[in-house]
């Protein structure tokens, strides 16, 4: 695939060689991502979704600030750094950006083992620790209201008012389940003042960890820093629970064998190892609530988008966002059954 725009974007960074190749990567829901081969080197080229990231300068500044901080602190892992285009900027036409590709690495769409989940959770906490001296007010929220769960609820309620009768009828069971589990959001909102604010990754799903090509448990880098933002550490942990404990594909609506307790325990153990003394008592006590709440909010977000005619998340078939909603609700209900309500 060699679209004119991809070629033009790369040409504004460097000359195209005879072995120029492009492969589109399809794992992300938001941005368009391409693996570029040019003159024997590999690059990651992305077209950012400006409907989602309205302030791309804030995104770029966040990445630059964190990159600079980690280098200063001698962070022992790979650090992502956007490359400069010929215009002297990290962005071309205010939407394209480029990164060096980390060779001999691979990503996973689903966690391969509890050991891998343990290592990822430990890696994430180390990332947090190295960022603990970054002042949250130096980092801008790239998506206003991203962590405002009450705002997510209002967006959902607005979608209910504007949705077509057809989509409301198809989602009748899921609408009922969202209402049934609203207590999780209420509990989270009451406890939120007890969770200190830090700089967090914001999207630590399994596919945002780069693993060594020859080892499924050796992590080379944590990537995709677009959602770096001030927030509670428990959000990052909750999103890992959502990503790692799900035994089914994200758009698989099948009921049964959805949640893995083994993966959940591995995540908790990895997250707490070495750095537990740096977590508050409230944070340690509500790891389960964090997982359940983030899963619940993600179900609500998928359903909101379905009711809004699929405007936010990329879809490649009808009802995919509804199936994603069902998947998250199945995961949530099985987790509650196994772990109890915010135990």
**What domains are there in the chain, each with its CATH number?**
4-100 (3.30.200.20), 114-339 (3.90.1200.10)
Helix (H, G, I), strand (E, B) or coil at 16: coil
Helix (H, G, I), strand (E, B) or coil at 225: coil
What is the rounded average pLDDT of the residues 315-326? 96
pLDDT value of residue 28: 60
Evaluate if residue 106 carries a pLDDT over 60: yes
pLDDT in tens, 56-105: 888 988 998 999 999 999 999 999 988 999 999 888 888 899 998 999 99
**Average of per-residue pLDDT values in the chain:** 92
pLDDT in tens, 265-276: 999 999 998 776
Strands 41-47 and 96-100: antiparallel
Cβ pair 149, 185 in contact under 8 A: yes
Q: Which of 234, 266, 331 is nearest to 121 (CA)?
A: 266
pLDDT value of residue 163: 98
Q: Name the CA radius of gyration of the chain, rounded.
A: 20
* pLDDT > 70: percent of the chain: 98
What is the rounded average pLDDT of the residues 133-155? 89
pLDDT in tens, 278-312: 889 999 999 999 999 999 999 999 999 999 999 98
Evaluate if residue 264 carries a pLDDT over 50: yes
Residue 265 phi/psi, 5-degree rounding, is -65, -40
pTM attached to this predicted model: 0.89
pLDDT in tens, 27-52: 666 788 899 999 989 999 998 887 77
Which helix (H) or strand (E) segment holds residue 47: the answer is strand 41-47
Q: What band does 1 get if pLDDT is binned at 50, 70 and 90?
A: very low
215-252 exposure pattern, b = at least 16 Cβ within 10 A, e = fewer = ebeebbbbbbbbbbbbbbbbbbbbbbbbbbbbbbebbe
DSSP string, 179-201: HHTHHHHHHHHHHGGGS-EEEE-
Q: Which of 132, 122, 26, 44 is nearest to 82 (CA)?
A: 44
């Amino acid at each position: 695939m060699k679209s004119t725009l991809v070629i033009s974007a790369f040409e504004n960074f460097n000359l195209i060689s005879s072995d120029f190749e492009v492969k589109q990567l399809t794992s992300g829901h938001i941005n368009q991502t391409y693996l570029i081969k040019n003159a024997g080197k590999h690059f990651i080229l992305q077209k950012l979704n400006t409907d989602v990231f309205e302030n791309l300068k804030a995104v770029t500044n966040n990445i630059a600030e964190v990159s600079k901080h980690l280098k200063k602190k001698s962070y022992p892992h790979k650090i992502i750094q956007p490359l400069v285009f010929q215009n002297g900027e990290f962005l071309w036409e205010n939407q394209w950006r480029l990164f060096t590709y980390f060779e001999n690495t691979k990503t996973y769409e689903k966690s391969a083992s509890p050991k891998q989940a343990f290592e990822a959770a430990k890696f994430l906490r180390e990332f947090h620790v190295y960022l603990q001296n970054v002042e949250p007010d130096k980092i801008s929220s790239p998506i206003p209201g991203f962590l405002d769960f009450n705002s997510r609820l209002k967006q959902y309620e607005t979608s209910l008012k504007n949705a077509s009768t057809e989509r409301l009828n198809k989602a009748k069971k899921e609408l009922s389940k969202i209402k049934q589990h609203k207590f999780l959001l209420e509990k989270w909102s009451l406890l939120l003042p007890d969770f200190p604010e830090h700089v967090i990754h914001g999207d630590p799903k399994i596919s945002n960890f780069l693993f060594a090509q020859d080892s499924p448990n050796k992590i080379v880098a944590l990537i995709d820093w677009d959602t770096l933002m001030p927030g509670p550490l428990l959000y990052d942990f909750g999103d890992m629970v959502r990503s790692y404990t799900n035994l089914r594909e994200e758009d698989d609506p099948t009921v049964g064998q959805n949640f893995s307790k083994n993966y959940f325990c591995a995540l908790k153990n990895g997250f707490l190892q070495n750095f537990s003394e740096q977590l508050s008592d409230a944070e340690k006590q509500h790891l389960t609530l964090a997982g359940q709440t983030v899963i619940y909010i993600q179900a609500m977000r998928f359903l909101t988008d379905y009711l809004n005619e699929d405007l936010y998340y990329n879809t490649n078939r009808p009802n995919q966002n509804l199936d994603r909603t069902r998947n998250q609700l199945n995961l949530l209900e099985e987790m509650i059954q196994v772990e109890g309500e915010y135990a």
